[in-house]
Amino acid sequence: TYIGSIVASVNPYKSIPGLYDRAAVERYSKHHMGEIAPHIFAVANECYRCLWKRHDNQCILISGESGAGKTESTKLILKFLSAMSQHSLELSCREKTFCVEQAILES
């Protein structure tokens, strides 16, 4: 559940199909936090959006007792941020290619 910009989660101690796959990354990358069900990807997406859109420094604090899933949560956040960064890089390359093609066509 969300508590402001905080997500409180529980380690299920088992794999849940579809919870952290590529489709989940895509789904949460297209919504603002609070628009769809609470998820660690929503927190990561909010962090990513604030970093790039508002140029605000970001920090994600992951807390819990031993065995609560802190390491796994960190890996999931890094997975999401890595996917978003890769997507941004691909878009940037496409835009540059398009600009070069336009310049060639206009010459």
- Residue positions in the annotated binding site for ATP? 64-71
Q: Which two tokens stand for residue 4?
A: 């402001």
Binding-site positions: 64-71
User: Amino acid identity, residue 86?
Assistant: Q
Residue with tokens 């489709």: 23
Comparing C-alpha atoms, which of 34, 22, 38, 17 is closest to residue 80? 22
Q: Scanning the structure block, which residue is given the tokens 């069900």?
A: 37
Residue (of 31, 53, 39, 52) closest to 6 by Cα position: 39
Cα–Cα distance list, 10 to 25, 33, 98 (Å)? 19, 19, 45
